Copies of this chain bind each other. A is one copy, B any other.
Amino acid sequence: MSDINETKIYLSEKEIPTHWYNIMADMPNLPQPALNPQTRQPAEPPDLISIFPMDLIMQEVSQERFIEIPEEVRNLYKLWRPSPVFRAHRLEKALDTPAKIFYKYEGLSPAGSHKLNTAIPQVYYNKKAGIKRLTTETGAGQWGSALGMACNFFGLECVVYMVKISYQQKPYRRSLMQLFGSQVFASPSENTNVGRQFLAQDPNSPGSLGMAISEAVEDAVGRPDTNYALGSVLNHVIIHQSVIGLEAQAQMAKVDAYPDIVIACCGGGSNFAGIGFPYVYNNLTKNDKVRVIAVEPEACPTLTRGTFTYDFGDVSGMTPLLSMYTLGKDFMPAGIHAGGLRYHGGSPLVSQLLHDGLIEAKAVNQKGIFEAALTFARSEGIVPAPEASHAIKGAIDEALACKESGESKTILFCLSGHGHFDMTAYDNYLSGQIQDFSLPQETLDEAIKKLPKV
């Protein structure tokens, strides 16, 4: 038994989970099936085999509760896992709150975020299927650098389409991918048909995740040695990220602490699902009553103001249609610093659980995010990524509510990544250049009109 008054709660490498958790075994309503983009009929495994290996396709549709983690994947997880849970003693003191605040820190991964949790198994299964080359998109660069690192570990080529504005604003993230041997293109690029079309429409396009996905998918579809990899949204990604929550549960139990509230930021939904779903599982099967809260940006409020329906994952309509909360594939979010949360859609699993009232969502604005990030950094020492700072803001809000009510709740949040490559954003904040965004309802209505008919 560890001591709740210590700062960090560790597990040994032997306590890395042996299995991932799959919430599809337990949710009362499964998401509507993905649809083939041409036929608009439920997509079958053969529809996906041109871009994904069969092992991942089978995980995508699996209803097995626990899926064994391959030995080779667990061995690579040992480079940084189990990740520590910190008790935020100094933050609690700074807020003068009776709440107990814990955070699971995924930023100690060598790629700097939780993304490596799924990059490693994705590359593993692709290699097993004989694939030599993977394509992907990246926004802020956290996913691209994780996949690049994982490809390097397994000896696969990695081609990353990086959203142009991030490519320009975050040159260090690009350097990191190149250091691990990845080829990086600013998207939209001249490298694909769809990229050339985007450029013809707008030569100065800043790019978007939806566009970059279209490029990466086109690149993969055309080459038999090449598959595509996605860093969030899909069920197999959500499954891989369950290591976060499974470890956290073991760690919290070691100090006999049980969260009342679990919080994470939410873009595509993978780190949120990673820490949250093992707690939803307990809610569903053990009658626990843990509040599980997704925090998203006001500038891209997929879960709080989106529509629950079918939409494409990319801009050009090449991916299967997914049942999810969406702002419409043509919605162009403002250039907020949390580039990893600038995505029009949400994970079908997260969306379905939200629709069924089994989790919560809230949106927060940019100035508040950075204020929370600074409070956190100055008390805990860690400089958080702007994405992860949404979770911090959510946790601080709950801790201050406890101060108001005098309740001593236990709050656990996922600190999904560090901000070492985001210092420009902090410069802007400290010099008063960060602005809030308020999204008019008409903008949302406009994008929703263009949703595909199914």
A binding-site residues for B, Cβ under 8 Å: 2, 6-8, 10, 12-13, 75, 78-80, 90, 108, 110-112, 149, 152-153, 171-172, 175-176, 178-181, 374, 377-378, 380-383, 418, 420-421, 423-424, 426-427, 430
Contacts and interface: CB of A to CB of B under 8 A. Distances in A.
Contact of A149 (B7, B10, B381, B420): B381
A79 B380 contact: yes
A421 to B, nearest CB: 7
Nearest to A111: B381
Contact of A13 (B6, B80, B171, B377): B6
A107 to B, nearest CB: 10
Nearest to A116: B381
14 contacts: A6-B78, A7-B13, A7-B79, A79-B90, A80-B381, A110-B381, A149-B381, A152-B378, A172-B172, A175-B424, A175-B427, A176-B383, A179-B377, A180-B378
- The 4 closest A-B CB pairs, nearest first, are A110-B381, A420-B420, A7-B78, A172-B423
A88 to B, nearest CB: 10
Nearest to A178: B430
Contact of A381 (B10, B79, B421, B426): B79
A308 B430 CA distance: 46
B8 A179 contact: no
A177 B7 CA distance: 24
A153 to B, nearest CB: 8
Contacts of A172: 172, 420, 423-424
A12 to B, nearest CB: 8
A374 B423 CA distance: 24
Contacts of A374: 179
Contact of A380 (B8, B110, B178, B421): B110
Given A110-B381, A149-B381, A175-B423, 9 more contacts: A6-B13, A6-B78, A10-B12, A110-B380, A110-B383, A152-B378, A153-B381, A179-B377, A179-B426
Contacts of A8: 13, 78
Contacts of A90: 79, 153
Contact of A430 (B13, B179, B381): B179
B181 A378 contact: yes
A148 to B, nearest CB: 10
A181 B381 CA distance: 12
Contacts of A153: 90, 381
